[in-house]
Amino acid sequence: MTTASLSLYEKRKGVYPKAVDGFYRRLKWAVMAVTLAIYWITPWLRWDRGPYAPDQAVLIDLAHRRFYMFAIEIWPHEFYYVAGLLVMAGVGLFLVTSAVGRAWCGYACPQTVWTDLYQHVERLIDGDRNAQIRLDKAPWTAGKIARRVAKWSVWLVIAFGTGGAWIFYFADAPTLQHQFWSGTAASVAYATVAVLTATTFILGGFMREQVCIYMCPWPRIQTAMLDEKSLVVTYKHWRGERRGSLKKAQAAPTEFGDCIDCDQCVAVCPTGIDIRQGPQIGCITCALCIDACDKVMRQVGRPRGLIDYCTEDDANAEKAGRAPRPVIRSLLHVRTLVYLTLWSAVGAAMLFALGTRTRMDISAQQDRNPVAMRLSDGTIRNAFTVKLRNMESRPRPMRVTVEGLAGVSLWTDRDGRADARTAIDTVVPPDSVAKLRLFLAAPAHGPQRQDFAFTVRATDREGGADHEPAHFERLQ
């Protein structure tokens, strides 16, 4: 302790997690396969949207300000869907934490998944834990250099694949890939790939658990969110203590608990902690120590679960010799149900809004300078900038009329008042907003500020309409 207190800065302690097999390790394999597959395959899925829209299933088209996700197309004015998704993601994290503790950290977090992948590469090239420790301490011989170069190269390839896949979410993937290799892609694409390759390489290869412990805010938030009903990886000290080797335990069976102090739980831990010290911020609940301990317990003929997922309530019950509550009871406690309700409500509201949203829209902005002016025949003219939004991926004929304003005539800046009429017909191009400058002339007698409404009707077979309230203002 004295030496530690003399140093302002602490060198990173090497973490060399040992390979392990078991239920949770296989679960982690499965989650890794699914999440990586989603990440790498998604941009290449196609989705037919007709001739006027891109055919990429998931596309964040920043240049044209559209977000496509299979059958859903989001426009910038519908950003509240994205806000809703973020709310769902946030509440979803709370929900998962409340139900199964830090499962996100242990299984699905990209930092965990890529670190896991990098560690497998490390084992393939450097060997398992002991070989890695030896190699780290070894002098820089040709063999060590060769292994380092090999490992870092594979890491770099994975990092490049990771950074490279990211950009395909923002442009047509096959086109961009061709542009990327032929050197004609936008410079922002190369910069993005370079930055993400570097961060993946550094965070997955070298920073690893340091990210979880020092950089990520989520473990700190989790600390506040966990309670006595949260599933955490627990070393059952009342069963394990006092620790002792198998030999000692055989010599004096009554003095020793189940833990044979083999340190396998520490050896397999990807964040390098000792779970037997109790819950701590470094524990991402990946449960690999459970796999390791279960294997040892099986070998020494003791029941599994010396280290296990367990809530504090269950731990106390087990300590006192009571039967733990069934898992379903701990999963369905009030806080979880409240989060679930909240999460489902946001999801249902978004689905409802998506199902009932209109695919056409009119908005009108009145000229404020001048608001109203007299024409030579004594009538009063107001001017509006009217925007017609066509969210279908085909051109649509639309007719704009004015309701609630007697004796009004309309014309646009493309024709003159000589062509004034009572309805303006136009064709709005697919997937776009058409802008019309409309001039409205109405008799001078009437209220100084008169409410009326613009109406747009699609004049094709499908029809549809939208209204926009507005005011007609007269001179005093």
Partner 1 sequence: MADPTKSKIDQPTGTPTMGHEWDGIEELDTPLPRWWLWTFYACILFSLGYVIAYPAWPLIEGYTKGALGWSSRGDLAKAMATQAAKVAPIHRAIAATPIDQLPAKPALMQAAVDGGRAAFKVHCVQCHGSGAAGSKGYPNLNDDDWLWGGDLATIEKTIVDGIRNPDHAETRLSIMPAFGRDQLLQAAQVNDVVAHVRTISGQQKGDAASQRGAQLFADNCAVCHGPAGKGNRQLGAPNLTDGIWLYGGDGDSLHQTVWNSRQGVMPRWGDRLDAATVRMLAAYVHSLGGGEAAPVMAVDNVAGEASDARP
User: In the set 374, 445, 449, 467, which binds partner 1 (CB under 8 A)?
Assistant: 374
Q: How far is the CB of 453 from partner 1 (least distance, A)?
A: 20
User: In the set 320, 377, 461, 476, which binds partner 1 (CB under 8 A)?
Assistant: 377
Q: How far is the CB of 207 from partner 1 (least distance, A)?
A: 7
Can residue 356 be called a binding residue for partner 1 (CB under 8 A)? no
Can residue 10 be called a binding residue for partner 1 (CB under 8 A)? yes
Q: How far is the CB of 262 from partner 1 (least distance, A)?
A: 23
Task: Say whether the peptide bond before residue 242 is cis (omega within 30 degrees of 0).
Answer: yes
**Contact indicator for 257, 240 with CB cutoff of 8 Å:** yes
**Contact indicator for 191, 163 with CB cutoff of 8 Å:** no
In this complex, which beta carbon is closest to partner 1, that of residue 56 or of residue 379?
Answer: 379
Q: How far is the CB of 464 from partner 1 (least distance, A)?
A: 28
User: In the set 413, 425, 451, 462, which binds partner 1 (CB under 8 A)?
Assistant: 413
Which run of H or of E encompasses 161? helix 142-167
Q: How far is the CB of 434 from partner 1 (least distance, A)?
A: 13
Can residue 383 be called a binding residue for partner 1 (CB under 8 A)? yes
Show the binding pattern over residues 390-409: x = contacts partner 1 (CB under 8 A), - = does not. Answer: -----------------x-x
**Contact indicator for 309, 231 with CB cutoff of 8 Å:** yes
Q: Say how many residues touch partner 1, by CB under 8 A.
A: 39
User: Rounded to the nearest 5 degrees, what angle is found at the Cα of 146, between the Cα atoms of 141 and 150?
Assistant: 150
Q: How far is the CB of 6 from partner 1 (least distance, A)?
A: 6
**In Å, how far from its chain's centre is CA 6?**
42
DSSP state of 14: P
Show the binding pattern over residues 165-204: x = contacts partner 1 (CB under 8 A), - = does not. Answer: ----------------------------------------
Residues 6+ apart with CB under 8 A from 151: 121, 122, 125, 126
In this complex, which beta carbon is closest to partner 1, that of residue 24 or of residue 201?
Answer: 201
Can residue 48 be called a binding residue for partner 1 (CB under 8 A)? no
SS3 of residue 147 by DSSP: helix
Can residue 439 be called a binding residue for partner 1 (CB under 8 A)? yes
- Span interacting with partner 1, options 174-182, 217-225, 327-335, 373-381, rule CB under 8 A: 373-381
- Tokens 């509006």, located at residue: 384
User: In the set 182, 187, 356, 376, which binds partner 1 (CB under 8 A)?
Assistant: 376
User: In the set 52, 80, 190, 214, which binds partner 1 (CB under 8 A)?
Assistant: 214
First to last CA, the chain: 86
431, 437, 435: which is closest to 390 by C-alpha?
431
In this complex, which beta carbon is closest to partner 1, that of residue 26 or of residue 414?
Answer: 414
Q: How far is the CB of 89 from partner 1 (least distance, A)?
A: 29
Q: Quick one: 24 exposed, middle or buried, by C-beta within 10 A (0-12, 13-18, 19+)?
A: buried
User: Rounded to the nearest 5 degrees, what angle is found at the Cα of 205, between the Cα atoms of 120 and 185?
Assistant: 105
SS3 of residue 292 by DSSP: helix
Can residue 426 be called a binding residue for partner 1 (CB under 8 A)? no
274, 228, 284, 227: which is closest to 102 by C-alpha?
284
d(CA 119, CA 364): 59
Strand order in the sheet with 58-61: 58-61, 66-69, 72-74
Tokens of 188: 């922002």
- Tokens 């991926």, located at residue: 393
In this complex, which beta carbon is closest to partner 1, that of residue 48 or of residue 377?
Answer: 377
Can residue 367 be called a binding residue for partner 1 (CB under 8 A)? yes
Can residue 11 be called a binding residue for partner 1 (CB under 8 A)? yes
In this complex, which beta carbon is closest to partner 1, that of residue 303 or of residue 370?
Answer: 370
385, 396, 373: which is closest to 461 by C-alpha?
396
In this complex, which beta carbon is closest to partner 1, that of residue 173 or of residue 442?
Answer: 442
- Beta strands in 57-159, from DSSP E residues, in sequence order: 58-61, 66-69, 72-74
In this complex, which beta carbon is closest to partner 1, that of residue 339 or of residue 384?
Answer: 384
Can residue 387 be called a binding residue for partner 1 (CB under 8 A)? no
Q: How far is the CB of 14 from partner 1 (least distance, A)?
A: 12
Q: How far is the CB of 166 from partner 1 (least distance, A)?
A: 24
In this complex, which beta carbon is closest to partner 1, that of residue 2 or of residue 182?
Answer: 2
User: In the set 351, 373, 423, 427, which binds partner 1 (CB under 8 A)?
Assistant: 373
Q: How far is the CB of 7 from partner 1 (least distance, A)?
A: 6
Which run of H or of E encompasses 92? helix 79-100
Q: How far is the CB of 77 from partner 1 (least distance, A)?
A: 24
User: What angle do helix axes 79-100 and 334-356 make, rounded to 10 degrees?
Assistant: 160
Can residue 381 be called a binding residue for partner 1 (CB under 8 A)? yes
**Contact indicator for 430, 392 with CB cutoff of 8 Å:** yes
CA distances from 280 to 102, 273, 307, 311, 432 (A): 12, 9, 15, 14, 53
**In Å, how far from its chain's centre is CA 305?**
33
Can residue 96 be called a binding residue for partner 1 (CB under 8 A)? no
Q: Which residues bind partner 1 (CB under 8 A)?
A: 1-2, 4-12, 207, 210, 214, 367-370, 373-379, 381, 383, 407, 409, 413-414, 416-418, 420, 422, 437, 439, 444
